[in-house]
Chains A and B, each alone.
Chain A
Amino acid sequence: MSTSTVDLQHDPHGEHPDDPHHQHHFTTMEQQFDTSKIGMWLFLATEVLLFGGLFVGFGMMQARFPEEFKEAHEHLQRPLGALNTVVLLFSSWTMVMGVLSARTNQRKKLVIYLMITILCACIFLGVKYFEYSHKIEEGLLPGHYYTHHGDKIPNTHGYATFFSFYFMMTGLHGIHILVGIGLLWWIAVRGNRGEFNSSYYTPVDLVGLYWHLVDLIWIYLFPLYYLIS
């Protein structure tokens, strides 16, 4: 019988009184880490479903307007899309290296890798900026803002629908990149202060998972929009 049980009510840090990151309702740091990971995976599942709804909507509309969608995608600059894909893939690698550095107590390396990841994210957004402004100039805009001239099929809403989805999906993805930059910056600052080590690097790990998801979604967006055939 556990007569030796610590009276937890008066010791919020339980068995790890020395680790400031340990929350009172977890018995061990390991349990706390695993729990955080489950939470993050579940959150990522909701993200996949959020985008999933848009993918399904895109598919339905593509089935309705196959010709328009095919023609509309030619307005997208495939090389720029490909460049962004490479940039994001590279940033995923630097993120992995960042997590590894945190786990192995390499503080400086962690910060450098995170900075490179942020730089990649900024390049991605920069490229997106050029793409967007090109679309805006040509009137390739969503819904009733669509003013592009010279399309092959007259009297159709198909082109506008294509660009509605293009802006919604890449826009939502772009917002995720922005949030990602904020999160990366936050853990970089904390990492620089030396808050992470081999026994506590949960935030780095979780932001890493998030960043891979953002990357993964782009891996699906790129062929969907740029490589329709």
Chain B
Amino acid sequence: MAQALTHSDPHIGDRPRPAKNYLNATTGIWSWMSTVDHKRIGVMYLVAVLSAFFVGGMFALLIRLTLLTPSHKLFGKVLIDADAYNRVFTLHGAIMVFLFIIPSIPGSLANFVLPLMLGAKDVAFPRLNLASFYLWCGGAALAVTSMIFGAVDTGWTFYTPYSTTTQNAVGLMTMAVFTLGFSSIFTGLNFIATTHKLRAPGMGWFDMPLFVWGTYATAIIQVLATPVLGITMVLLALERAFNIGIFDPKIGGDPVLFQHFFWFYSHPAVYIMIVPGMAIISEIIPTFSRKTIFGYRAIAYSSVALALLGFLVWGHHMFVAGQSELATVIFSALTFLVAIPSGVKLFNWLATMYKGNISLETPMCYAISFLLLFAIGGLTGIFLGALSTDVHLTDTYFVVAHFHYVMMGGTVIAFIGGVHYWWPKITGRMYNEKWGRIACALVFIGFNMTFLTQFFLGSKGMPRRYYNYLDQYQPLHAFSTFGSWVLGLGLFIVAAYLLASLRKPMDAPDNPWGGTTMEWLTSSPPIEHNFEEQPVLEHEPYDYRPKVKKHA
């Protein structure tokens, strides 16, 4: 019989663990490299993006260490010079954006969970899914190659005409970004088709888990925005190689046109990064509040609204860049519209917690951290959306702090929360709960030390991408650097106890948190074809009302 979803006790659903699961169904390196199983591809993606996160994070710590003092000296020696510094922050940005955050949640967690949540056996195009992963690898290889050939010192935004004239490996890096773009497109395309056609019997659009809604909205942006990035990178590379005359003003091109092209993708890309993070939070909060989600439709629609509005606000990166005055005013007005769906989500999550039955396991700790950090990220966005304050704050550390609150305080915190939430499902093992909470506290404190400080630096007039700075900023810079160590320590602990959990035998129940979505119906870890029987949806999502088992 089909399995009915019931959930009065968090540990329900336990049964003997199947001997064969997706991890041990086949063995050998080749069985992984040639796999078309979305779960294995998800795991490979997870390893890959976390490696990128590690490398990008090391660059971040190096940046902070360099800025500890205005002389950049450590034990009497200059740490890195201005040229090296410019390469380091460019690599930090490019790796974190293109190799880590954009593919992070879609590539790893959504790849693993989305088909399970829909009750499907795989994504729509399993081979395309594997191709997407190898394109990621290709992009990463190109990025690494560019580091060998002198790296790139343009900033991750590749602004022309600096990027068309600088003597380093910009060509390789643009090809890396182009390749990663197609990896992202294929993932998105796959998820849209999967969501449309592979839902379990009885599952209508408004019966889907909100994580699926968020991933679906993200996929739309991935498919519709990324090709423009691709062609922009091609144009940039051709401008460098042949002087085609589109971006370089010396031959009649328009450098501001590049910014329009770039942000036409890269602003929607912000929503490729944050919407999946929000989608994870929409899963964690009802589960640990043991209460149905408040405003399901509002949250679902707001994901789609964010995806669409994301295409209309790219000009807010360019208020002082030389676009027309009228465009600036219109982009500012549209930008404020983004505040509404973001606010709606925040209020809905809080309302979900109201009168809940809340336990603070690690994923929930990250979800609450997310609420606070994303609130700050969103509210400081208003400073930058308002025209007159943006004139002062743009291109300063205020912007740096703002997007780190959204990208790291939002997406990365949600991602780590999601990794904890689905860790038992993915690996079949529970991690150390006590260390989980300690590390979460350290990450939260360290993050705020690092980046709250930078709002003050920026307001005081400290421009971004500065190697040297005036002495007056030193105390704040030093404090931010100390914060980065706390943050680094927190993340190191996370890595340590998660890896440690892999050494013990499998101990995770099927549904450790009492979740109501379909991925908890199968064993932990799932069997190769996900479900022993096709699950059938029998009630609306996030239904925590006590139930009588209909078919006992």
Q: Establish whether A and B are touching in the complex (CB under 8 Å).
A: yes
Binding site for B on A (CB under 8 A): 1-3, 5, 7-9, 23-26, 31, 34-35, 38-39, 42-43, 45-47, 49-54, 56-57, 60-61, 64-65, 142-145, 156-158, 160-161, 164-165, 168
Is there an interface contact between A156 and B226, defined as CB atoms closer than 8 Å? no
Q: How far is the CA of A25 from the CA of B123 in the complex (A)?
A: 8
B153 interface residue (CB < 8 Å to A): no
Is there an interface contact between A31 and B245, defined as CB atoms closer than 8 Å? no
Given contacts A39-B124, A39-B125, A49-B224, contact A9 B193 (CB under 8 A): no
For this complex, 26 residue pairs linking A to B, each with C-beta atoms less than 8 Å apart, are A2-B534, A5-B534, A9-B527, A24-B121, A24-B122, A25-B115, A25-B120, A35-B197, A39-B124, A42-B189, A42-B192, A42-B223, A47-B227, A51-B231, A54-B235, A60-B254, A61-B245, A64-B254, A143-B238, A143-B243, A143-B245, A144-B243, A157-B252, A161-B245, A164-B242, A168-B238
**B226 proximity list for chain A (CB < 8 A):** 46
Q: How far is the CA of A207 from the CA of B2 in the complex (A)?
A: 39
In angstroms, how far is the closest chain B Cβ from the Cβ of A31? 6
Nearest-neighbor residue (CB-CB) of B124 within chain A: A35
B528 interface residue (CB < 8 Å to A): yes
Q: How far is the CA of A142 from the CA of B123 in the complex (A)?
A: 43
Nearest-neighbor residue (CB-CB) of B529 within chain A: A9
**B257 proximity list for chain A (CB < 8 A):** 57, 60
**A156 proximity list for chain B (CB < 8 A):** 252
Interface residues of B in 189-243 (CB under 8 A from A): 189-190, 192-193, 196-198, 223-224, 226-228, 230-232, 235, 238, 242-243
Q: How far is the CA of A39 from the CA of B126 in the complex (A)?
A: 12
Interface range on chain B: under 10, 10 to 19, 20 to 34, or 35 or more?
A: 35 or more
- Using A9-B528, A49-B227 as known contacts, list a sample of 15 further A-B pairs with CB atoms less than 8 Å apart, ordered by residue number in A: A3-B1, A8-B121, A8-B529, A8-B534, A39-B189, A52-B228, A53-B227, A61-B245, A143-B245, A157-B251, A157-B252, A160-B244, A161-B245, A164-B244, A165-B244
Given contacts A8-B121, A8-B534, contact A24 B1 (CB under 8 A): no
**B551 proximity list for chain A (CB < 8 A):** 1
B353 interface residue (CB < 8 Å to A): no
**A25 proximity list for chain B (CB < 8 A):** 115, 120-124, 126, 198
In angstroms, how far is the closest chain A Cβ from the Cβ of B33? 20
**A46 proximity list for chain B (CB < 8 A):** 185, 189, 223-224, 226-227
Given contacts A38-B197, A143-B243, A156-B252, contact A53 B228 (CB under 8 A): yes
Sort A-B residue pairs by CB-CB distance and give the 5 closest, nearest first.
Answer: A164-B244, A143-B242, A53-B231, A25-B121, A161-B245
Is there an interface contact between A54 and B529, defined as CB atoms closer than 8 Å? no
Q: How far is the CA of A161 from the CA of B193 in the complex (A)?
A: 39
Is there an interface contact between A45 and B223, defined as CB atoms closer than 8 Å? yes
**B198 proximity list for chain A (CB < 8 A):** 25-26, 31, 35
For B46-73 the 0/1 string (1 means CB < 8 A from A) is 0000000000000000000000000000
**A161 proximity list for chain B (CB < 8 A):** 244-246, 251-253
Nearest-neighbor residue (CB-CB) of A68 within chain B: B252
**B192 proximity list for chain A (CB < 8 A):** 38, 42
B261 interface residue (CB < 8 Å to A): yes
Is there an interface contact between B224 and A45, defined as CB atoms closer than 8 Å? yes
Binding site for A on B (CB under 8 A): 1-2, 115, 120-126, 128, 185, 189-190, 192-193, 196-198, 223-224, 226-228, 230-232, 235, 238, 242-246, 251-254, 257, 261, 527-529, 532-534, 536, 551
Q: How far is the CA of A8 from the CA of B461 in the complex (A)?
A: 63
Indicate which residue in B124, B532, B533 contacts A2 across the interface (CB closer than 8 Å): B533
In angstroms, how far is the closest chain A Cβ from the Cβ of B65? 40
Given contacts A25-B120, A45-B224, A144-B243, contact A65 B238 (CB under 8 A): no
Q: How far is the CA of A161 from the CA of B247 in the complex (A)?
A: 11
Is there an interface contact between A57 and B235, defined as CB atoms closer than 8 Å? yes
Q: How far is the CA of A47 from the CA of B231 in the complex (A)?
A: 10
In angstroms, how far is the closest chain B Cβ from the Cβ of A71? 15
Is there an interface contact between B126 and A144, defined as CB atoms closer than 8 Å? no
**B254 proximity list for chain A (CB < 8 A):** 60, 64
**B115 proximity list for chain A (CB < 8 A):** 25
Is there an interface contact between A158 and B529, defined as CB atoms closer than 8 Å? no
**B120 proximity list for chain A (CB < 8 A):** 25
**B125 proximity list for chain A (CB < 8 A):** 35, 39
**A35 proximity list for chain B (CB < 8 A):** 124-125, 193, 196-198
> Which of A2, A39, A60 has most B Cβ within 10 Å?
A39
Indicate which residue in A38, A47, A51 contacts B193 across the interface (CB closer than 8 Å): A38
Q: How far is the CA of A51 from the CA of B234 in the complex (A)?
A: 12
Nearest-neighbor residue (CB-CB) of B220 within chain A: A42
In angstroms, how far is the closest chain B Cβ from the Cβ of A175? 12
Is there an interface contact between A144 and B242, defined as CB atoms closer than 8 Å? yes
